[in-house]
Amino acid sequence: MSLEIFKDNTQLSDMKFSDIKDIILALEKEYSIENKDYLLNIGSILKKDKRKTVQNLSDRILRFIKKNEEEINRVMDMYNFDKSFGKYTYIAGVDEVGRGPLAGPIVAASVVLNLNYNSDKDLILGIKDSKKLSAKSREELSEIIKDRALYYNIAEIDNDLIDSRGIGWCNNEVLKMAAIDLAIKPEIVLSDGYAVKNIGLKNEFIIKGDNKSASIASASIIAKVYRDKKMKGYSKKYPYYGFEKNVGYGTPEHIDGLKKYGPCPLHRFSFLKNIL
């Protein structure tokens, strides 16, 4: 349906509410700051319609614009945070997932973003600490990040090495692997929470970095999506522990399965001493 219907002095009374709403939803999906005034103008036209439902769409537009601008500013601050460390071309954010589970690997990711945005369309909106996102949002964002990142890398260490070397060593090692094995050598590595030892690269650690840094948040998301998918796949081979739901963490269902069936080859035996 043509968007000409939203020009000034256009009569909307012969249009169905559902058709008008569909057009608004389509416009929201393509929204950017550049067409803010256009969308606001549509809202003012809808406000004059006699139907309360159509008038409410005008209020929806205002709420949408406000929420979108807040998100743009939030993510822009994350990009600017990364840029504040210096005029680097390749800034890598690294983060890990899977330090605490009873089974499965520990996984880390590194991400190098293009931090030189020209408009809101250049930003990856929605990025944040992966634990604060729904599974669906994480999966969608993971694909966007991998598509738009300059470089990314995923590394993992299995449960056997965790048992033999300890989770502390493996945690540091997997972060180091994720950064060092990038296709390019990053000029600086931003890590979440603590420094990466013996990395051989300039490294800055940020407390709660996955809430502050665009690069770290992006790494957090793709690492978690990768590991969750892997653990859900393992649940088909080892169905007694609920891996498809708990991805290896020690939920009651998981512990019940351990006590009834014993551990499987994915379990970290060094983590089970107080359970079995």
DSSP structural state of residue 246: H
Angle of CA points 156, 236, 238, to nearest 5°: 75
The token pair that represents 145 in the structure block: 């990040």
Q: Which of 265, 261, 272 is nearest to 102 (CA)?
A: 272
170/180 Cα distance (integer angstroms): 15
| Residue 160 known to bind ligand | no
CA distances (Å), 12 to each of 43, 47, 50, 54, 61, in order?
Answer: 13, 11, 10, 9, 17
C-alpha to C-alpha distance for 116 and 180, rounded to whole angstroms: 23
Contact 112, 91 (CB under 8 A): yes
49 annotated as a binding-site residue: no
- Which residues line the annotated binding site for a divalent metal cation? 95-96, 192
- Which residues line the annotated binding site? 95-96, 192
